[in-house]
Amino acid sequence: MNKDQLVNAAKDMLDRAFVPYSKFPVGAALLTKDGKVYQGCNIENAAYPVTCCAERVAIFKAVSEGERDFEALAVIANTDRPVPPCGACRQVMSEFFSPDMSVYITSKDMEVKSTTVEELLPFSFTPEDLEKGRQS
Ligand code: THU
């Protein structure tokens, strides 16, 4: 699957977004190293903070199915510029993706910006930091 196909798989999820509060649909598609695609959309809740972003829905779907090796993530929203993922999603990306993994962020006009996990969240808190800072 190439970049355009992955972006289109993310776009297909805009219609599935559950966004009665923000009216801001987001779609995501996560490609595994063995070629499977897990799609996600944002899912909101009347208790607003319970909302889950499209990126995390796609990542959690994949991880909960046992996937651990990822190739690329595409994200899209009806934004003027390629949609920047939120901080919480960047942290989750840094947990499961390699720093150089491609993230394709996309605007309403299908402008695709190719970035990486490291570019989105430099100097991130890692499992190694946690391990080394534990009380003995
Ligand atoms: N949202 C995402 O799904 N991904 C992002 O990268 C940015 C924000 C969602 C959360 C909420 O449902 C809506 O967009 C407005 O914040």
CATH number of the domain bearing residue 109: 3.40.140.10
Tell me, what's the pLDDT at 20?
98
* pTM > 0.85: yes or no: yes
Domain span at residue 107 reads 3-133
Give the residue among 59, 73, 80, 79 at the shortest CA–CA distance from 14: 79
Whether the CB-CB separation of 61 and 45 falls below 8 Å is answered with no
Active site residues: 55
Helix (H) or strand (E) holding 126: none
In order along the chain (136 residues), what is the average pLDDT of each group of 10 residues? 97 98 99 98 98 99 98 98 98 98 98 98 95 94
Tell me, what's the pLDDT at 76?
99
Tell me, what's the pLDDT at 87?
98
The Å distance, Cα 47 to ligand 1 centre, comes to 15
Tell me, what's the pLDDT at 96?
98
Residue with tokens 């829905």: 57
The Å distance, Cα 136 to ligand 1 centre, comes to 39
Indicate the top mutation candidate among 18, 19, 21, 26 to test ligand 1's pocket, ranked by most ligand atoms within 8 A of CB: 26
Looking at the 3D structure of the chain, how many domains does it have? 1
The residues pairing with 28 across neighbouring beta strands, listed in sequence order, are: 40, 75
Tell me, what's the pLDDT at 132?
96
DSSP one-letter string for 46-66: SSGGG-B-HHHHHHHHHHHTT
Tell me, what's the pLDDT at 26?
99
